[in-house]
Amino acid sequence: MLISMAFASSPWRSDQRTATCFAVSLAAHALALFAALPAISVLPRTLLPSLDVRLVEVPPAALEPAAGTVPPEAKAAPPVEAAREPLPDRGTPAPEAAPEVLTAASRPDPVIAEKPKAADSPPQAEAEPPAPEPALTEAEKAKFDPRYLSESQVDRKAVSLDETRAAEYPPEALRDGITGCVLVMVYIGPGGTVENIDVIRSDPPQIFDRPAMRSFISKRYLPAIRGNVAVRSRVPGVASFELDGKPQPYCALRYYPVVRELNGDPVMVGQDAK
């Protein structure tokens, strides 16, 4: 009896009882909290269906569209015509003429419109060509060297092989605006070279003589032939000195009768100073 009382009153038994009561109280609160939560159902996981993919090589012929088929991208959408606003009524318009199509057979000849004549401007008088020069004088004929044959004395006259060099315009004549003509006689040797030059006529005298002679001195000719032999011959030459804005001297026309008297056509040398 004494032992049981001592055990009952021990401190360890008191602590064990307190812990047991605390555990029971905690379990009761946990049950009450779990009962208050909504029911949660756990569904089984559904497996997704599987998909197997394999790469297969397609031949090039299968990629080309069939003949006569047009891919959808190539088909152009029909154009959408924009709505036109009605024009204001201006009366009945005249029908628009269609453009005329001209062909080679129906193309009309071009029509050249005549320029209207100015009423106030008087007509400009053109310079008349000069009168022909008179025939050769005895003094001029005396200048000819008889060793050189004329055109009428040979079977084939001398022929120029190159172009005549343009004559140099004298600075004094160019400054004073002087034009002129020179008639020369060119003497050609059997080798085709120029051996001498004589001035027959010049207008104005001596101003253009030297430039005219220099333009002929460097020429080469195919010599004249007489009896299958190259011979000395003479040919006339004309040098013309002209200026823009000045009346033309018409040298060839002026000396034409004299040249014909010399039995041959002249060799022309022109100098047109700009």
Q: Provide the CATH number for the domain around residue 196.
A: 3.30.2420.10
Q: Which residues contact 71 (CB under 8 A, 6 or more apart)?
A: 65
- Residue 74 maps to a domain: no
pLDDT at 182: 95
Per-residue model confidence (pLDDT) at position 258? 86
CA distance linking residue 37 with residue 194, whole number of Å: 142
* 246 found inside a domain: yes
Q: Is residue 116 part of a domain?
A: no
| pLDDT recorded at residue 104 | 31
Residue by residue, pLDDT tens for the chain (274 residues) are 444 444 444 554 556 666 666 766 776 666 666 555 554 444 445 444 454 545 555 555 555 555 555 555 545 555 555 555 555 555 554 444 333 333 233 334 444 444 445 445 444 445 566 677 777 888 888 888 999 999 989 999 999 998 777 788 999 999 999 999 999 999 999 999 999 999 999 999 999 999 999 999 989 999 999 999 999 999 999 999 999 988 888 898 888 888 888 865 555 555 555 4
| Residue 261 forms part of a structural domain | yes
Confirm whether 228 is domain-assigned.
Answer: yes
pLDDT digit string (tens) for 197-246? 999 999 999 999 999 999 999 899 999 999 999 999 999 999 999 999 88
Kindly state whether residue 197 falls inside one of the protein's structural domains: yes
**pTM value?**
0.50
How much is the pLDDT for 105?
A: 33
Is 61 contained in some domain?
Answer: no
Is residue 21 in some structural domain? no
Domain span holding position 215: 138-273
Instruction: Report the number of distinct structural domains present in the chain.
Output: 1
Q: What is the predicted pLDDT for the residue at 191? A: 96
What's the pLDDT at 230? 97
pLDDT at residue 121, as a whole number: 45
